[in-house]
Amino acid sequence: MLYHLLPQFSDVHIVFNVFRYLTFRAAGALVTSLLVAFLIGPAVIRWLTRLRVGQIVRSYGPESHLSKAGTPTMGGLIILGATVSSTLLWANLTNWFTVLALVSLLWTGAIGFVDDYLKVVRKQSRGLVARYKMVGQVTFGLALGAFLLLQPISPIPTTVTGLPFFSEWSVAFWAPAFVLFVALVVSGSSNAVNLTDGLDGLAAGLASIAAATFGILAYIMGRVDLSQYLGLFYLPGAGELSIFAVALAGGALGFLWFNAHPAQVFMGDTGSLALGGALGVMAILLKSEFLLVIVGGVFVMEAVSVILQTSWFKYTSRRFGEGRRIFRMAPIHHHFEKLGWAETQVVTRFWILGVLCAMVALSTLKIR
């Protein structure tokens, strides 16, 4: 909004020109998102408490989690409110990168909100049945893939995506396969973050690291000089996505203020599905879907641990008549709790791994 309103007054005073600069607006978006989260957080928590929107804790999980039962959930509304308001204030709202990122955040957030509502308000223990959640995610992914085919937003062919470590190699999909690939990335990223959201501050901290990393990548790919120097795709207009990315990082960090151990509020599926969906869509728009595997390495580890545990349990049940486990409990953050790590130790160490993954991902921009 400020980008559209204030630069026209540059003839009155040159200071209004700063609202044209991407770096200035990105910094403003980060600060705004943080402040909005700080301001609306207490009100949202009080509102959720009045509604008795309390977390349901699994009885077979770590015993230390039983005390968390009843803590307000659906706190992802704080992240959504902070990110959307900050992006609307500072971004170019005619830019397709911005519009699609916002739509992805709201769509996946809405799916999570319905699931949380059914579980904690309507007291339906299964919430939105998993297959219906998947239908909502896949439907959006298919729609996004089809839209990008029909309405290309960059000079690079829509079906082409980049490869980490290689500047001259890329992957070109058959058009229908590209649409399915987009749906896979959106749903996979969204569910991976959802699985990671099991400890105080874990998903919020990791998501802010990943979002900030994509913010840096968007800024580079939106500049012809930097993208050519580093052998990346030049995507005109992609720099605007950095504003959304840092707003998302700021919203997650602002939420972390209230979600740090011991948590006053949980993000619920409202926040985790939205964060994961937004990260996946940013990777798609920046043609960096394979880089997402590195940036979100901890999310991938969490999702793979669940897949391995479930698959092995089912196989051994059929093979030996008794299900066996690879990990003491999945997702893998609970495995380390079962090993005796304190919750704060697991979270801090996983954050460190998240920073490491981000550094490795950024290093691929030069090692090409």
Confidence band, pLDDT 50/70/90 cuts, at residue 4: confident
Q: Which residue has the higher pLDDT, 361 or 72?
A: 361
Domain boundaries, the chain: 2-363
Average pLDDT score over residue span 22-40? 96
Instruction: Give Cβ neighbours of residue 71 (< 8 Å, ≥ 6 apart).
Output: 54, 55, 263, 264, 265, 266
Residue 231: which of 165, 300, 291 has the closest Cα?
A: 165
pTM above 0.85, yes or no: yes
pLDDT tens, residue by residue, 131-175: 888 999 999 999 999 999 999 999 999 999 999 988 888 999 999
Q: In the prediction, which pLDDT does 2 show?
A: 85
Q: In the prediction, which pLDDT does 299 show?
A: 98
CA distance 272 to 43: 20
Q: Which residue has the higher pLDDT, 53 or 256?
A: 256
Question: Cβ distance 347 to 202 under 8 Å?
Answer: yes
Residue 184: which of 263, 45, 281, 297 has the closest Cα?
A: 281
pLDDT tens, residue by residue, 269-292: 999 999 999 999 999 999 999 999
Instruction: Give Cβ neighbours of residue 116 (< 8 Å, ≥ 6 apart).
Output: 53, 73, 74, 76, 127, 268, 269, 270
pLDDT tens, residue by residue, 324-346: 999 999 999 999 999 999 999 99
In this structure, the number of other CB atoms found within 10 A of the CB of residue 340 comes to: 7
Burial of 276 (0-12, 13-18, 19+ CB in 10 A): buried
Q: In the prediction, which pLDDT does 219 show?
A: 97
